[in-house]
Structure formats: structure tokens, C-alpha cells
Amino acid sequence: ADPTAIESFPGLPLEILRQSSLGGGLIEFILGDGVLSLPEAARGSQAVANINVQLHPVAIAGYISLVVNALSLLPIGVTDGGRMSQ
């Protein structure tokens, strides 16, 4: 996409993307190594809390579906994980 279109893409906070190993790994594979990495001194600072990574809406939908599927596999109640543990 051209740079003006990328500016209109929604962004996800960097800290949310870094919390998921699978989602973060996929983003780094597609966008390039080091996209989600930070210097050790910058972690936990206010500047990092304000960083958003612009992603295509389909990528955001895919990321959310990864999280939802991971939650549905937890062995709680009648979710798929709960049925597998019975």
C-alpha cells in the first residue's frame, strides 16, 4: 500500500503485540525482524506506551482471532478445551 493509505490503517499498541509470542512472531516475520524489539532501557517507559504499530485491518482481525481461539482452548466450562479435558 502507498504511504498515505498506511497512515489511515488502525494501529495496535506495541505492548499488546509483544505479549503474544505467536502473533508477535507472525508480525515480525511479515514486517521484518526487529519491528517489535526495544532497547532494554526503553521498556516500561511512557514513550513506549504511546507507540502504535499500523497494521492492515485484516491483520488486526487475524490477530484478534488468534487470541480468541487461544482463549477458547482453555479447559474451563464447555469451551473446546473443557471438552478435551473431560
43-76 confidence digits (pLDDT tens): 666 666 677 778 888 888 888 888 888 877 777 7
Note the pLDDT of residue 20: 74
Note the pLDDT of residue 40: 67
Q: What is the dihedral of CA 45, 54, 61, 57, to 10 degrees?
A: 160
Residues 6+ apart with CB under 8 A from 85: 75
Does 86 have pLDDT greater than 60? Answer: no
Does 41 have pLDDT greater than 70? Answer: no
- Which has more confidence, 45 or 34? 34
Residue 40: DSSP 8-state: G
pLDDT in tens, 1-28: 677 887 788 887 777 777 777 777 777 8
